[in-house]
Amino acid sequence: MISANDALDELRDGNRRFAAGEIDADSIASRVHKVGMSGGQNPFAIILACSDSRVPVELVFDQGLGDLFVIRVAGNIVAPSQIGSIEFAASQFGTRLVVVLGHSNCGAVIATLKELSLEQTHRSPNLRAIVDRVRPAIEPILQAHTHSDEATLTGAAVRANILASVDKLSHGSLILEQLIESGELTIVGAEYSIETGKVEFFDRDRL
């Protein structure tokens, strides 16, 4: 299995190709030709991303079948099923890198901001389970940005939510903590810009 650093380089290169519009029908076809991988999988990165329809993970990193182990949930939140999925992939495949991929104008973050501002209540307990997981990261941001415009506030809230998920995963379970401590797993945050198609990684310096 490749190192976390090499995995990060692969993702950065792939996103550069995507953002530059270098992906054409031929390159997508060559990816799909890997169909028939019944022998197993060997994903070099685990990605916890938002369900937003504008952030298809394999496409934005220009990766093919079997390359990425992807978990998608509104607001890229961390709940037990996300932790379990990551434990499974890291233990089963020896994948060294986890990326929490948030994105600009995230609907789950905006919904939480609205709820905090207007004290609206959601009728669905299932939707509440998502908002309640976003809320702790967002509350201090809302207080610190009382004079900011909406775009600045939303941007800060999106980043805080990504970093909160990185933090929750890093201390999410004994298995993940041990893998991180032994240097076998690295978790980083990243933000995808819907406007530019570019992904910015937050914790590159720590690697």
Sole window of 99-107, 133-141, 159-167, 170-178 interacting with Zn ion (rule: CB under 5 A) = 99-107
Closest by Cα among 200, 77, 85 to 137: 77
Q: Does 50 participate in binding Zn ion (rule CB under 5 A)?
A: yes
Nearest-angstrom CA–CA distance, 123 and 62: 39
Q: Tokens representing 42? A: 């060997």
The residues near 10 (Cβ < 8 Å, ≥ 6 apart) are 2, 44, 45, 61, 63
Sole window of 40-48, 101-109, 133-141, 182-190 interacting with Zn ion (rule: CB under 5 A) = 101-109
Closest by Cα among 87, 66, 68, 86 to 76: 86
CB of 112: closest distance to Zn ion in angstroms?
A: 11
Q: Does 67 participate in binding Zn ion (rule CB under 5 A)?
A: no
Q: Based on CB atoms, which residue is closest to Zn ion, 109 or 188?
A: 109
Residue choice 45, 68, 106, 166 for contact with Zn ion (CB under 5 A): 106
- Contact positions vs Zn ion (CB under 5 A): 50, 52, 106
